[in-house]
Copies of this chain bind each other. A is one copy, B any other.
């Protein structure tokens, strides 16, 4: 297995990206291809005492910045680490691509390079977080701010396939994020999606309210990309507030660690899966440090091994 990692993407690239790769590699057997500017990558690699047999560099001179307009950036920068990394997946030279670069640019480039599954109208971004009752796949967390009911149905169908293949959950429980448990609750979008989900072949367990989300009542929770994004970023912000409290002397590393682990903190989760794309693409947080990159790489290994993207069909 070979995983391509965008060495240039993210606020702390290339330093933290390469640190994460170097730290994670000994625990696995796969190879890593670092995609980016060779000089910058070599300079970082020279900090470590490596035999280098399982790390290679693939040249990509350009970098797409976080604020660039995705479509334009991808057209103009064909030799950027994002486009080149995705092409490695397309050509079979890598099994997965991990990047902490611009979510919009990666999603757009993945659509153009790898293409989407035909039965999917819109790829979605999903995170897997730990709940007291096990892993939960939560999507969409930002790819589609405006959704139609059928998009939410498709997110549920993709989530169902992912949770069956990655975690061998036979009949994943599908929940719909809403402002009340009852069928009549929700905004127009959610009320219409409820009807589609109820009629589907899925193991739909109904609406999930905000307070149930962290508890793991469902294995897959679907929402539109606007609400999903607000939810995961709120988790991130709360984790930061707690970290600040901790620095102020209220130290209890064990509790604080649990708090951060449970709080849907995107930064601690390593990365989001791009579902509905013909290929394994992991989008790590822009502020990823080495630890986050290690988790993103582990997630990449897991989806490659379980053939999650292939399970979605063509």
Is there contact, CB below 8 Å, between A210 and B187? no
Q: Which residue of B lies closest to A186 (CB)?
A: B145
- In angstroms, Cα B258 to Cα A252, docked, is 13
Is there contact, CB below 8 Å, between B210 and A237? yes
- From B185, B212, B233, B258, give the contact of A211 (CB < 8 A): B233
Nearest CB of B to A141, in Å = 9
Q: Count contacts on A: residues with CB < 8 A to the other chain.
A: 50
Is there contact, CB below 8 Å, between B233 and A146? no
Q: How many copies does the complex hold?
A: 2
A263 within 8 A of B: yes
A254 within 8 A of B: yes
- In angstroms, Cα B238 to Cα A142, docked, is 21
Count chain B CB atoms within 10 A of each CB in A225, A238, A250, A262 and give the residue with the most. A238
With A241-B214, A252-B252 given, is the CB distance from A145 to B236 under 8 Å? no
Contacts of A255 in B (CB 8 A): 242, 245-246, 250, 252, 255-256
Is there contact, CB below 8 Å, between B146 and A226? no
- In angstroms, Cα B83 to Cα A219, docked, is 41
- In angstroms, Cα B258 to Cα A191, docked, is 36
A240 within 8 A of B: yes
Nearest CB of B to A72, in Å = 13
Contacts of A241 in B (CB 8 A): 132, 214-215, 262
